[in-house]
């Protein structure tokens, strides 16, 4: 048996990932409520989402009427109680266990016990996150790929206590959104980050060692392996500070030396070179438009 999902909440919606997830949900016809504590961040996210949709129309990838329907399905709020009628709430907040557990505790007080809570965590244990809820059976891992509005893959991970009904309902929802779900175990990094975090760090270390320029490293990976985006461009997209947090979450669990934070990465973050969102990382950028817009 699966639960009917009509309304979706997205927490941490002002971030790049949260904004993309909200677009995925609204594009599939679901009423979507984006929640964040900062009004200005929500406004910025709204402008980025509108620009992405407008550009999609200009490129002939989206009909104007469909754009209007998507915009009409989306709302934003700084009041967490606005999520009370949601059938599914997806958290995409700061990659910190205590922060995510605290959010679930707050959602417990607002949402029905039938509401499914999904975590977009990329490195943390779903079982540990679920312990922040009084109903851990309703918590499931749902890791979207960045940029969520363009990438189809979702890593679906049940925790030890996740009910089969919760998992099947969340799985059915991803299919309704025309995404591609894969079932993974509740293990560090799931599939993608278990492979990607060390690989991205290798690219940073190659740059630091003077093997080649950032542009040539990315060009070699794209031309030689068929990747659409080079590892350094990808880190710029997700944020160099996010890569640091991934390393700090992943390395203590795995003790894989390749997952340890490269010194160059720490220095760049200390200098405020965070990638696309700061205008400069391994490459230079203008504006802060959503990727693909």
The residue count for the chain: 293
CA distances for 59 relative to 94, 248, 264, angstroms: 33, 40, 38
Instruction: Report the alpha-carbon angle 226-184-182, nearest 5.
Output: 55
Following DSSP, what letter does each residue of 169-214 receive, concatenated? HHHHHHHHTT-EEEE--S-TTTTHHHHHHHHHHHHHHHHHTTSS-H
Collapsing DSSP to helix, strand or coil, 128 comes out as helix
CA distances for 46 relative to 131, 195, 212, 247, 290, angstroms: 32, 33, 39, 30, 11
Q: Give the other-Cβ count within 10 Å of 4's Cβ.
A: 9
CA-based max dimension of the chain: 56
Q: What is the DSSP letter of 289?
A: P
Tell me which residue has tokens 């754009």: 67
Q: Which residues are catalytic?
A: 122, 143, 155, 193
Q: Which residues pair with 183 in a beta bridge?
A: 156
CA distances for 285 relative to 115, 212, 278, angstroms: 40, 21, 8
């Amino acid at each position: 048996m699966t639960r009917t999902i009509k309304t979706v909440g997205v927490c941490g919606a002002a971030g790049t990932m949260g904004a993309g997830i909200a677009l995925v949900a609204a594009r599939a016809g679901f009423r979507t409520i984006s929640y964040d504590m900062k009004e200005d961040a929500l406004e910025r996210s709204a402008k980025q989402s509108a620009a992405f949709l407008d550009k999609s129309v200009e490129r002939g990838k989206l009909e104007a009427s469909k754009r209007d329907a998507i915009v009409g399905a989306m709302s934003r709020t700084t009041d967490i109680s606005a999520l009370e009628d949601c059938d599914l709430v997806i958290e995409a907040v700061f990659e910190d266990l205590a922060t995510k557990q605290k959010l679930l505790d707050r959602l417990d007080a607002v949402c029905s016990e039938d509401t499914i809570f999904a975590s977009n965590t990329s490195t943390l244990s779903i079982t540990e996150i679920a312990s922040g809820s009084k109903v851990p059976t309703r918590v499931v891992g749902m890791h979207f790929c960045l940029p969520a509005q363009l990438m189809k893959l979702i890593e679906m991970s049940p925790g030890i206590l996740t009910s089969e009904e919760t998992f099947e309902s969340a799985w059915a929802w991803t299919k309704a959104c025309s995404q591609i779900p894969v079932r993974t175990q509740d293990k560090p990094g799931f599939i993608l980050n278990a492979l990607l975090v060390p690989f991205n760090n290798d690219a940073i270390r190659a740059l630091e060692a003077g093997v080649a320029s950032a542009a040539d490293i990315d060009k070699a990976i794209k031309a030689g392996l068929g990747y659409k985006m080079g590892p350094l461009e990808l880190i710029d997209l997700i944020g160099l500070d996010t890569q640091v947090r991934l390393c700090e979450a992943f390395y203590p669990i795995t003790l894989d030396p390749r997952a340890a934070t490269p010194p160059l990465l720490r220095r760049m973050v200390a200098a405020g070179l965070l990638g696309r969102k700061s205008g400069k990382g391994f490459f230079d950028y203008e504006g802060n438009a959503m990727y693909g817009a």
